[in-house]
Structure 1
Amino acid sequence: MELSTGYRLLLFGMISLLSSCLLLYECKKLDDYEFPVYSTKSCPRNQTEWNERSSAINCTKDNGYLCLPNENITELLEFCYYFPFVLIQEDICLYLSKRYTYFAVDSYSCIGFLYGCPNSSYVSSKLFEHPHCTSIGYRCFLAEPSCQR
């Protein structure tokens, strides 16, 4: 009887987590990556949202949460990365590539952005402070002069 109750609680917890992910963030798990990756409509805008989203997909202090565009700059993805954080150089935004299996995060020069290109290095856990690196149109960052809104 206790074992059955435990399984029900575990199942309820899993359903609750998935429900919160789907309802609050409209995320969908994608199968084309080496680790769990979820599509999302937007990336966190502050530390509180960052922490909530990180918890929702079970990131830990050892595998940090990231929210980045895909390699085609057509959708936003959230995932727990292999490392607790990534140091991002100035004038760089990141995206998630399918080409690499372990170091799947790649860089994109934002020097040509009209606004919002980070002018100093920062850690990925503060990515929400640079929203123009996650504000995308179809195949472009919105801050790019040629991007069609």
Structure 2
Amino acid sequence: MSYKGFGYIVDSCPLSKANTTEAASKLNCINDVFGRSQYVCVPNENLTAVVEFCYTKSIVGLYQAGYCLKTIKDGYLDQISCKNFTEGCPTAPYRSTELYKYPACSRLNTEFRCFAADSLCVS
């Protein structure tokens, strides 16, 4: 299902580098100027769905440990704290192309609009 004209709602994000490469290929994502895939799979701004898309707003950046990513207006990325996660919060800086290493950053409790691994998320 199309999401706001820039991505697609999916059931889950890829859990390996190979699956990420395959998903990027299906969407025809190009590489940034440094040769990094621009494929991303992240929660939407309301934490009600997971969205995959080709990130074309900038080069693939480096994100802080202690934060996951979500998409905001028109396909931009924003960081969201995961300090209350019981597991799976990134412990080192990472690129969006490495999100498959942190599946907790895309597992949601859509009913309560929170991350399933967040200790503050009502289950």
Q: Whole-Å Cα distance in 2 between the matches of residues 50 and 61 of structure 1?
A: 13
Q: How many residues align?
A: 116
Per-residue CA deviations over 1:14-58 (Å, capped at 9, x if unaligned) read: xxxxxxxxxxxxxx112x25xx21110000000111011001111
Distance 2:25 2:59 in 1: 14
The list of structure 1 runs, each at least 4 consecutive aligned residues, that deviate by more than 6 angstroms after superposition, is none
Pick one of 26, 35, 51 that aligns with 1:56. 26
Query: 1:42-100 CA deviation, whole Å, 9 max, x = no partner?
Result: 000001110110011110112600000000111000000024522111001000012xx
Structure 2: unaligned runs, 5 residues or longer: none
CA distance in 1, matches of 2:94, 2:29: 20
1:71 maps to 45
2:64 and 2:93 in contact (8 A); partners too: yes
Q: Which has the higher contact order (CA 8 A, sep 6+)?
A: 2
Question: What is the SS of the residue equivalent to 1:96?
Answer: strand
In the other structure, the counterpart of 1:128 is 100
Q: Which amino acid aligns with 1:29?
A: S
Tell me the secondary structure at the aligned position of residue 14 of structure 2. Answer: coil
Q: Percent identity?
A: 36
Contact kept in structure 1, 2:9 and 2:52, CA below 8 Å: yes
CA RMSD of aligned residues (A): 1.6
- 1:74-89 matched pairs, under 5 angstroms: 74-82=48-56, 83-89=58-64
Q: Identify the structure with the greater strand proportion.
A: 2
After superposing the two structures, state which structure 1 stretch, 79-88 or 116-125, moved more.
Answer: 79-88
Higher helix share: 1
**Which amino acid is 1:43 matched to?**
C
TM-aligned CA deviation for residue 147 of structure 1: 2.0
Contact preservation (8 Å) 2:84, 2:120: no
The answer to whether 1:97 aligns with 2:67 is no
Structure with max Cα Rg? 1
